[in-house]
Chains A and B, each alone.
Chain A
């Protein structure tokens, strides 16, 4: 069994928050806050004046027709768009009231994790996939890594299915399992925010419901932002929902309000299926 020393290690947070990032627990302060955010692909303006406050430890969903900018917006919040060529961002993004755009980009992405539309496990073992984020963030102690891998796989509701084949290649898993592995991989570094970009678009209904369940499980400790083209999914999982159209945030409110009593005509047309 674990020695007191090991237990000490286990109790320590896997990754300490960066200096100066004192988490403010005041409910008035949103976890993520954007002000007048514009985004350009070359000369094309993909986002116009997006201002939004995303509440801590809640699930926020973005809906809208394809090409409306919801994924682009998601990707500005962990600065993934910077990996694309010829892009430009204007405006402010605050994470815990701090300017996210001027932070160290690696720190941003460690604190704001992301799960992609298509599951993208590395061609490594299941264990190494989950351990990857820890290793690149400078954690090398075997015990700490094993503990974090177990915990993350548990939180992603994958542990029971893979505990006997941790050292088998991740490619052997089914599509739904692979996507949960990617969630586990993102959770392993203890992100404060988890961004999900249409995580269920390639999955069958059973795999989808498993992922939705696990989102409920982790929302106590993690702020979740999910982009989905599936309105029912937004209605099922989200506390708040935002509707995007042509690069603008048309409406943002409680999920219930958006779906039952939207204040804008465009939103109503979209959620009632009268759109386009």
Chain B
């Protein structure tokens, strides 16, 4: 029958066409990895991890201060973002009433969609301006705000996936609700929550725009928390758009380090999720 052969031909054609789309999309990852490994690994040396940036015009030097700076800013961000996000997620999953929960969920999604550069402006106005200078604290606040939405949603999702029977078992033994949540529900979901937090951290670790006018940058060490602080993403940006050959080399090296960091956290967290006890469908 003609129509059935035609049908099969179209079917194979569309299989190929949509498969090609997928190949193009997923293939980009290998391009990115390949170029960064090629240019980045070549430019990477011990100095990169141990030395301060060299003054303009001199070759060599490293980004030790930016690596430490990134760690500091991310530490602050986690301190700010995760408690709010986690507790908010617990509220949505365990305590929330219908209407208010819907509002919070919706607002969380909207906050997640706010362009990162706008978060930068707001933190500039709220933290940098009153303090009078750029600082690691401001950078931490900016990234912390960006961490909240994902933390909320992943916490809620993984708590929600804990079976009702488990909660009921705890409650039936006479435990008050909060104790059931703390001792039974959260431990049951902990793998998901921790993985979600790691993914969240990996996402903000690469954020550049909100740091441009909060943490700013620094060619030197920035002791304490209230000095302008260099971070890897901002260094990549400034070095990449600079006119110096040697800075380009270092931008590649920094890009490679950042990418390896972000992707390995992603892979570890996703593998942990794939083996978790309760894996909810997003």
Contacts and interface: CB of A to CB of B under 8 A. Distances in A.
Contacts of A107: 1, 4
A136 B1 CA distance: 13
A104 interface: yes
A45 to B, nearest CB: 28
Contacts of B4: 18, 104, 106-107, 110, 137-138
A16 interface: yes
A16 B1 CA distance: 8
Interface string B1-36: 111101110000000000000000000000000000
A138 B8 CA distance: 12
B8 A106 contact: yes
Query: What secondary structure prevails in chain A residues at the interface with B?
Result: loop
Nearest to A18: B1
A72 to B, nearest CB: 25
Contact of B7 (A18, A138, A139): A138
A19 interface: yes
Interface residues of A, number: 11
Contacts of A139: 3
Contacts of A136: 7
A110 B3 CA distance: 12
A157 to B, nearest CB: 29
A137 B3 contact: yes
Contacts of B8: 104, 106
Contacts of A138: 2-4, 6-7
Interface in A59-97: none
A139 B6 CA distance: 13
A52 to B, nearest CB: 27
A191 to B, nearest CB: 15
A104 B7 CA distance: 11
Contacts of A16: 1
A137 B3 CA distance: 6
Interface string A98-113: 0000001011001000
Interface in A104-150: 104, 106-107, 110, 136-139
Contacts of A18: 1, 4
A249 to B, nearest CB: 32
Contacts of B3: 137-139
A267 to B, nearest CB: 37
A9 B164 CA distance: 60
Contacts of B1: 16, 18-19, 107
A18 B1 CA distance: 6
Contacts of A137: 3-4, 7
Contacts of A19: 1
A249 B2 CA distance: 38
A151 B2 CA distance: 25
A16 B8 CA distance: 18
Contacts of A110: 4
B14 to A, nearest CB: 14
Nearest to B5: A104
B227 to A, nearest CB: 57
Interface of B: 1-4, 6-8
Given A104-B8, A137-B4, A138-B7, 17 more contacts: A16-B1, A18-B4, A19-B1, A104-B4, A106-B7, A106-B8, A107-B1, A107-B4, A110-B4, A136-B7, A137-B3, A137-B7, A138-B2, A138-B3, A138-B4, A138-B6, A139-B3
5 contacts: A16-B1, A104-B4, A106-B8, A136-B7, A139-B3
The 5 closest A-B pairs by CB, nearest first: A138-B3, A18-B1, A107-B4, A106-B4, A104-B4
